[in-house]
Homo-oligomer: A and B are copies of this chain.
Amino acid sequence: MSTTSMHPATSSSQNPSPSSQNLSLPYASRHDKLIGSVIDASTTLLAAYDHDIVKFGMGAPAPDMLPAKDFARIAGEVFSPENFTYGETKGEPILIEALHDYLASSGQIPPEQQGNRDRLLITSGGMQGLDLGFKLFVSPGDLVACESPTYTNGSATAMSYEAEILEIPVDEDGMQVDALEEHTARTGRAPKVIYTVPTFQNPAGVTMSLPRREQLLAFAHRHRSVIIEDNPYGMLRFSGESLPALSDLSPNDPLIFGVRTFSKFVAPGLRVGWIDVDPEIRELAVNAKQTMDSCAAVPNQHLIARWLAEGGADSHVEVLRQAYRERKVAMSEGLQRLFPGEIRATDPDGGFFLWVTFDDETINTEELMPTALEEGVAYIPGPAFSPAGNFSNALRLCFASATPDRIDDGLDRLRRAVDRYRSER
């Protein structure tokens, strides 16, 4: 999708740093690397609009897919005073137990790791898992490889620790590990950390093939690079054959730092996720988390623990898979109908996202955005997924947040926006 690009950990094309020299405060050297998140900022951006907007932007489950009613009921059972005080940093034991049992019974941890609860640490959402991974492994100037396009909340977190970012192109089979190997051979410098969303990638929706997975693991072992395997969507497969996670291919591998979350299959607002890492790393992560927020929100952990113990997850995940399959089909078909011969779109087998590239390279999706919002549809522009600001003629669409009918409406609005943008420029 682009050539390998390498650049220092700053970018003028992304969410710019605030005008933070005005007060001449004695900021830390990292302060101008704190570029923020265009993705997260879109929540605030949309809150400022009054008219109806179909939200294809934020990667959030649709409100109708959130078990809020279950939680209101469960709150009556678990909102005891004891569950409102400080919890253990590693997480509430009852949640660790319920999570372990759920993962084991649904085949989401390899048999070799089952029974080992010392690998699990409950985090404040998947984002904190990423923050922990980069905090433990990235010193200023270290090289961090990420996909291109990538989930820039991950690369931005690496940048907050003053990493140098290396973008490795993604194709239909995921990260082009050949390009990573070539870059390493040419420069003699392997990345300290490789950040990847191998399954239903954010934003491209593609899945790393099995040969690529094996190639990536071999690379990491050869160079002793840590792989941060960010896997929020892996369980949300709605078509095609299951592929093993990197952590399944190499069980108990200390070089694999697994980041998972309840955000995509339960509810993001709860801000509860987990990491699955070597117990030595977990011990250090507990220390790190004690400098971050002490523990994840305690009543939230008990809501999820009870919900898992009630067996809520299996049927709910099935509902999600069914719904997201329909929504993806609606979006794919709508794009083909409305933008024939004008775009290329990925066709994911799971997850939340479609990646759309306009054949006309002069279309600038950042410039298109105000018109789209006026027409009543939101997306995230392509450059938000590249630390270097590439992909100006691409955009990410989340199909998970809207019903098929709303998706049709949203794509009609996008069609109108593109037509207006073209005629007005």
Contact = CB atoms under 8 A, between A and B. Distances in A.
A229 to B, nearest CB: 15
A272 to B, nearest CB: 8
Interface string A76-87: 100111111111
Contacts of A128: 292-293
A343 B284 CA distance: 37
B297 A269 contact: yes
Interface string A58-90: 101101101011011001100111111111111
Contacts of A153: 290-291, 294
A26 B35 CA distance: 26
A21 B84 CA distance: 36
Contacts of A185: none
Count identical subunits in the complex. Answer: 2
Nearest to A37: B290
Contact of A89 (B41, B161, B278, B299): B41
A308 interface: no
A375 to B, nearest CB: 23
A136 B68 contact: no
A20 B284 CA distance: 7
Interface of A: 15, 17-20, 22-23, 25-31, 34-37, 40-41, 43-44, 47, 58, 60-61, 63-64, 66, 68-69, 71-72, 75-76, 79-90, 93, 124-125, 127-128, 130-131, 135-140, 142, 153, 156-157, 159-161, 192, 224-226, 254-255, 263, 267-271, 278, 280-281, 283-284, 286-288, 290-300
Given A34-B288, A84-B268, 18 more contacts: A15-B287, A20-B283, A22-B280, A23-B278, A25-B280, A37-B294, A47-B88, A60-B85, A63-B85, A64-B81, A71-B84, A76-B76, A83-B269, A131-B291, A140-B140, A270-B298, A271-B295, A297-B300
17 contacts: A18-B280, A34-B284, A36-B286, A36-B287, A37-B290, A37-B291, A40-B290, A44-B90, A58-B86, A71-B299, A83-B269, A84-B268, A85-B267, A124-B271, A127-B294, A156-B290, A271-B295
